[in-house]
Amino acid sequence: MVKICGITNQPDADAAIAGGATAIGFNFYPRSPRYIAPEAAAAIASQPGIVRVGVFVNEDPSRVEQVARIAALHVAQLHGDETPAQYPAALVVWKAVRVSNGFHFSDYEQLPADALMLDGPAGELYGGSGKTFDWSIVVHTARRIILAGGLDAANVAQAVALGHPWGVDACSRIESAPGKKDHIKMNAFLQAARKALQL
């Protein structure tokens, strides 16, 4: 799985899909510089087979499900302090965990989510900070792991080699400005990621 996150416009979505992305992400966290309204996300077309992911932070489950209906989402990517009891029942959940000092993979491995996204430290941004972490902390596990945080064409192969993930996610390091993708950088990342994941 190769995901491009922070999509805010049709040309970027088209370029991501043409470059080989299998998932695109829309950020519905109002304080994010990549925030997009649900109605605007709904207007961005994709293709059959492309997974549409919504990024949420401490949002009420009913609101997550409402946004998912509006924006035709397949997955809710939860970046806040949500407990399993607060996961939206009607959606696939990818739970994001920020890796910082004191992180222990075993504390999160059993979360009841379809995938566990390991993200770099981002402070109040909840993603999109461009900061990496030590990918070697990922233990070999049967569950789906997505690596995020500071990935680009230059380091994604190393991240995959060390972390053995199911998927990878890129955002800030392939942008010309927050919410605006640099298509050359994005395509280079996509090609490197697909090669590393043997897609």
Domain boundaries, the chain: 2-197
User: Class of 2-197 per CATH?
Assistant: alpha beta
The alpha carbon of residue 103 and the mean position of all alpha carbons in its chain are separated, in whole angstroms, by 19
- CB 17, CB 50: distance < 8 Å: yes
- CB 65, CB 91: distance < 8 Å: yes
Q: How far apart are CA 196 and CA 199, in angstroms?
A: 8
What average pLDDT does the segment 118-146 reach? Answer: 74
- pLDDT higher than 60, residue 13: yes
Q: How far apart are CA 89 and CA 107, in angstroms?
A: 23
What average pLDDT does the segment 80-98 reach? Answer: 93
- 123 — pLDDT class (breaks 50, 70, 90): low
The catalytic residue positions are: 5, 119
- pLDDT higher than 60, residue 182: yes
Mind listing the pLDDT tens digit for each residue in 99-112?
877 788 888 878 89
What average pLDDT does the segment 118-139 reach? Answer: 70
- pLDDT higher than 70, residue 130: no
pLDDT at 129: 54
Q: How far apart are CA 172 and CA 119, in angstroms?
A: 12
With CA atoms as reference, report the closest residue to 57 among 71, 76, 70, 84: 76
Mind listing the pLDDT tens digit for each residue in 32-60?
999 999 999 999 999 999 999 999 999 99
pTM for this predicted structure: 0.93
